[in-house]
Structure 1
Amino acid sequence: MNKQELVSAIADEAQITKVEADKALTAIVDTLTSCLAGGDKVTLVGFGTFSVAERAARTGKNPQTGKEIQIPASKAPKFKPGNTLKELINK
């Protein structure tokens, strides 16, 4: 499902226009992004938790040359599904 298909599904489910659904989806994504960028955790009960994971610096290997390289520390978005979502998927 791409963004436009999701917008259509939201519009149908909420009985709103596609323009309103697109604004709502954009607001949700923007808010999640800014919260995660600020280091906050976002929990949607029954759906899951979005958070930021810290990755330590480490040594890796270039697969083409086999030469060791230094991989810097970084942050990555993380999602942990809630129990309700897990149960629905595993039916």
Structure 2
Amino acid sequence: LTWHDVVSAVAEFQRASMECLAYFDYYQIILPRLVTPKFPYPEYNPLWMGAFTGNPGVAEKLSRAGVPAWFIRHEDTVMNKTNLLGKVKPHEPDAVLAMF
């Protein structure tokens, strides 16, 4: 095997392992929380990547399940009475990973 093949195989193994762990978390933790929500809502897990959504229903369900969620809205839809924790301006990433 070449170095490129070894690195590609390790990366694919890591990706598949992380995907399996994500499925386990979803079926063992998130799905039961979605089916039977409890109050107070659980704290979010900082190890989870979370999700971006423009659907308020999806954002609320994810938040109730303890999944980090970012509700994306157009600036024109934000009213003065809207409670915002912060406004984030998108920027270019500091580093970009590419194929070697």
Normalising by structure 1, report the TM-score.
0.31
Q: Which has the higher strand share?
A: 1
TM-score, scaled to structure 2:
0.28
